[in-house]
Amino acid sequence: MQAKLSRLAATEIDADALVLIEFEGGRRAELAGPLSALYESGEIKGKESEFTLLHGLNGHKARRVLIAGGGKRDRFDAARLRSLAGAAVRFLKPKGIPNLAFALDDGFNTPAYAAAAVEGAILGAWEPDYLKTNQTDKDKPIDSVTIVTAGGDAALAAALERGRVIAEAANLTRDIAVEPPNLLTPLRLAERARSVAEASGLAFEMLDQNRMRQLGMGALLGVAQGSAAPPAMIVMRYTPEKAASSDHLAIVGKGVTFDTGGISIKPADGMEKMKYDMAGGAAVIGAMQAIAQLKPRVAVTGIVPAVENMPGSNAQRPGDIVTSLSGRTIEILNTDAEGRLILADAITYAKQLGATHVVDAATLTGAIVVALGHTSSGVFSNDGDLLARWMAAAKEAGEKMWHMPLDEDYRDQLKTVYADIQNIGTRWGGACTAATFLKEFADDTPWVHVDVAGTAWLDDAKSHMAKGPTGIPLASFITLAMQWQ
């Protein structure tokens, strides 16, 4: 979708639909006359998710005008605008609207609002129906969104482009995450990453099973051995032209293309959802595409350990002890706690590649969904400074995050007499013991772990977003890199 900026008056905009925001208790001057009946009858109240669609409104060049309720004006912010833009797109999309315009009134013509409107529109347009063969079931694509604003400076145009790049990258992440597990094997995921890297000028490397054996990635290989589909370690590198420092940020995403649980097999009910167990990895690939375009002043390496967790005849067993890339031995007590195993080797590998800071994103535990539901992602860290940067980036990006504890007490749960560490703790605080396991491998490298098991997938469509993958925490990844000092 194209994003354009126009400084024409809203009435002069030639578009298939022009969206105007009305707040609770408000009455837009230019509409007060022609729409007085609608206002007086209470049909336009300005409440959130209230839409009033008008055709051929007098005095407007646009073929349709959509009055979109913004709710209470003093509670309106960029995040609300993002949702409102998405909801407006989803309201209009079935009607066939190739060119959409969005008016930002005085007070809202800032870069943050402009970016949010574009982002919301592009995110709202996405659908998970790429394998439906009947084209008549599908909405026609929206070709362009024009942000209409009086005044505004060059920063506004840059913000528009930033919003477009981030949202297109989020939709790429969602395209990858929604692919069914028979089509998206670890090697296919690596091929997707390779084509993204080639198209955006990133360096790309894939470690295959043999290379991983040579290096000693026993924790990852133990998970992979139950599947006929070979694993891949995906590496995408961005090098800035002028780095602000010698820092090297690694973003690492769990890439389990399907998680049956392995020998510790999961119940059948709902198992199909485990195709999104690579959502963290997909977010890394999408973020790397955006980073290549937005060019932050820090070196960023995207790493995705990709495996399928299957209970094949060669699968690892509870009781197996594997040697990780770090040299530490791990006793496998539950083969369904596989994400932490592949991430242990990926985090160690990130450090071997010279990462000074590591952020990982993973659909790691059901326990984080119990703790936080589907609203906030759980954040764990061994470093106050990186944690603060991450939380600030997430806030700016509009992705909700909640800081969770890491404590020596959780480490006690991972003690075993047979190896250096075991891969599960007790039933309680499962998200915290999983994070504690990862912390062991991050060691003293500043690290943040984001558990997105509850937030990477929407079970039911929202007014502003289709059901399926959300892209979280891609926008935070990008914002973190862009804000790096």
Return residues touching Zn ion (CB under 5 A): 256, 259, 277, 339
334 touches ligand BES by CB under 6 A: yes
Interface with Mn ion (CB under 5 A), residue total: 3
Residues 273-332 interacting with ligand BES (rule: CB under 6 A): 277
Q: Does residue 363 belong to the site contacting ligand BES (CB under 6 A)? A: yes
Q: How far is the CB of 39 from ligand BES (least distance, A)?
A: 46
**Cα separation, 10 vs 67, whole angstroms:** 13
Q: Could you say which of 266, 328, 400, 467 is catalytic?
A: 266
Annotated active-site residue in 28, 82, 237, 340? 340
Whether 266 is a known active-site residue: answer: yes
Q: Which is nearer to Zn ion, 146 or 257 (CB)?
A: 257
Helix and strand numbers (H, E) in the chain are 15, 20
8 vs 271, beta carbon nearer Zn ion: 271
Signed CA dihedral, 19, 24, 27, 31: sign only: positive
Beta strands in 31-122 (DSSP E): 51-55, 64-69, 99-103
Measured torsion, CA atoms of residues 121, 125, 126, 128, in degrees rounded to the nearest 10:
150
Q: Please state whether 42 falls in left (phi above 0), alpha (psi between -120 and 50) or beta.
A: left
Instruction: Note whether 127 binds Mn ion by CB under 5 A.
Output: no
Q: Residue 338 interacts with ligand BES (CB under 6 A)?
A: yes
Q: Which residue is nearest to Mn ion (CB)?
A: 336
Q: Is 365 in the site for ligand BES (CB under 6 A)?
A: yes
The residues near 343 (Cβ < 8 Å, ≥ 6 apart) are 252, 254, 305, 360, 362, 364, 438, 441
Taking the complex as a whole, how short is the minimal distance between the CB of residue 186 and ligand BES, in angstroms? 15
- Nearer Cβ to ligand BES (216/366): 366
Nearer to ligand BES, 242 or 427 (CB): 427
211 assigned to active site: no
C-beta of 153 vs 272, nearer to ligand BES: 272
Among 16, 127, 179, 259, interactor with Mn ion by CB under 5 A: 259
Given Mn ion, ligand BES, Zn ion, none, residue 424, with its beta carbon under 5 to 8 Å by kind, binds ligand BES
Establish if 455 lies at the interface with ligand BES (CB under 6 A). no
Q: Which position among 168, 320, 336, 345 is part of the footprint of ligand BES (CB under 6 A)?
A: 336
Cβ contacts of 257 within 8 Å, gap of 6 or more: 181, 184, 185, 186, 188, 189, 229, 275, 277, 278, 306, 307, 308
- State which residue has the least CB distance to ligand BES: 366
Q: Is 279 exposed, middle or buried (0-12, 13-18, 19+ CB in 10 A)?
A: buried
- Residue 336 touches Mn ion, criterion: CB under 5 A: yes
Tokens 């060669």 belong to 314
CB of 368 to Zn ion, least distance (A): 12
Partner that binds at residue 365, options Mn ion, ligand BES, Zn ion, none, CB closer than 5 to 8 Å by kind: ligand BES
Count Cβ atoms below 10 Å from residue 201 Cβ, excluding itself. Answer: 9
Nearest to 174 by CA among 235, 115, 232, 123: 123
Alpha-carbon gap, residue 3 to 125, rounded angstroms: 13
Question: For the residues of 123-145, what is the DSSP string, one character each?
Answer: HHH--S-TT---GGGSPPPP-EE
Q: From the CB of residue 230, how many other CB atoms can be counted at a distance below 10 Å?
A: 18
> 148 - beta bridge partners?
6, 103
To ligand BES, the closest distance from the beta carbon of 220 in angstroms equals 14
Q: Which residue has the tokens 């350990």?
A: 305
> How far does Cα 203 stand from its chain's mean position?
22
State which residue, 111 or 226, has the beta carbon closest to ligand BES. 226
User: For residues 417-436, which are near ligand BES according to CB under 6 A?
Assistant: 424, 430
Q: Which is nearer to Mn ion, 262 or 469 (CB)?
A: 262
Task: Report what 453 binds from ligand BES, Mn ion, Zn ion, none; CB cut-off 5-8 Å by kind.
Answer: ligand BES
Residues of this chain that bind Mn ion (CB under 5 A): 259, 336, 338
Please list the active-site residues: 266, 340
Residues found near ligand BES in the complex (CB under 6 A): 259, 277, 334, 336-339, 363-367, 369, 424, 430, 453
